[in-house]
Structure 1
Amino acid sequence: MLKEMQDLHDLYLKVHATIHQMVDDLTDEQWVKKPADHFNNIASILEHTLLVERRFFAQLKGETPDIDARAPFLATSWDVAKIKSMWAENERLARDAFAHLTAQQLDEPGAKLGVGEVNKRQLAAYAIAHTAHHRGQIPLVKKLLGI
């Protein structure tokens, strides 16, 4: 793995580790409880994050996946065990996606995002930024739930 991608992968794992610390002691009921009707719960936030990661990791490999990352926010029930399993699987998917990239591929087009078109280097960084963004929502939800 290129040093640049190893550094990004290490950062990705560090962000994931902090999320693990925030949710490891929660019950399944706490994962799915919404602090209010118009708020997302922890399950929907994490499932959304995982689906976005999967889409970005596939795009890093040149694939065009059909993943509806908004679905968890529209759902009325969530499978916490499935989300936890996806979490572990995404860490493997990240390693695989980051490891296969060559220096030349990092400059190739990666995706069209809300911020505009990004190359694969930027897409890898954006995947981490997106996860870190949603990471910040978890303490707010926990505080509103009194956890």
Structure 2
Amino acid sequence: MLKEVSDHFEVLTLVHQTIDNMIEGLSQDQWLYRPNGTFNNIASIIDHTARVEKKFISAISGEPLDIDTQAPFKESQWDVPTIQKAWVDTLPYTRDVLERLTESDLDKPGLSLRVGELNRRQLIVFTISHTTHHRGQIPLVMKLFQG
């Protein structure tokens, strides 16, 4: 893996580990708890984050997947085991894609997002930023279900 990419993957791995530590041992009810009946629950946050990572990393691979990243926020029921598996599968998928990148790949187009056109190098950084953002939502939901 390229040094720059390896450094970014290490940061993403650390963010994943902190999320894993937060959600470890949560019950199904805690995964599904929706503060005020309308806020995002942990299931929707993790589902969304896994979908976004998969979508962004697939674009970095050059084989973009059409993934509805907003679907988890429109759901009224969530399949927690499926979401947990998708979350666990994101980091190995990311590693596999990033290991194959060349220096010239990093300057190729990544995705057009609300922030603008990102090349693949920028999309790696944006992926980390997005996951980190949603990582911050988890303790807020947990505080509300813990009283």
Q: TM-score range by the shorter chain?
A: over 0.9
With the length of structure 1 as denominator, give the TM-score of the two structures.
0.97
Which residues in structure 2 correspond to 1:28-39 (within 5 Å)? Answer: 28-39=28-39
- Taking only the aligned residue pairs, the percentage that are identical comes to 47
Q: Which runs of 5+ in 1 are unaligned?
A: none
* Residue identity matched to 1:132: T
Mapped partners of 2:15, 2:64: distance in 1: 25
Q: Report how far residue 28 of structure 1 moved.
A: 1.1
Mapped partners of 1:66, 1:128: distance in 2: 20
Q: Does 1:64 align with 2:64?
A: yes
Aligned to 1:78: 78
Aligned to 1:27: 27
Aligned to 2:126: 126
With the length of structure 2 as denominator, give the TM-score of the two structures.
0.97
* Residue identity matched to 1:49: T
Q: Report how far residue 38 of structure 1 moved.
A: 2.3
Q: Give the RMSD, CA atoms, in angstroms.
A: 0.9
Comparing 32-41 with 50-59, which one deviates more in the overlay?
32-41
Which residues in structure 2 correspond to 1:1-147 (within 5 Å)? Answer: 1-146=1-146
Q: Report how far residue 114 of structure 1 moved.
A: 1.0
Displaced runs of 4 or more, over 4 A: none
- Report how many residues are paired: 147
SS of 2:37's equivalent in the other structure is: coil
Q: Report how far residue 142 of structure 1 moved.
A: 0.7
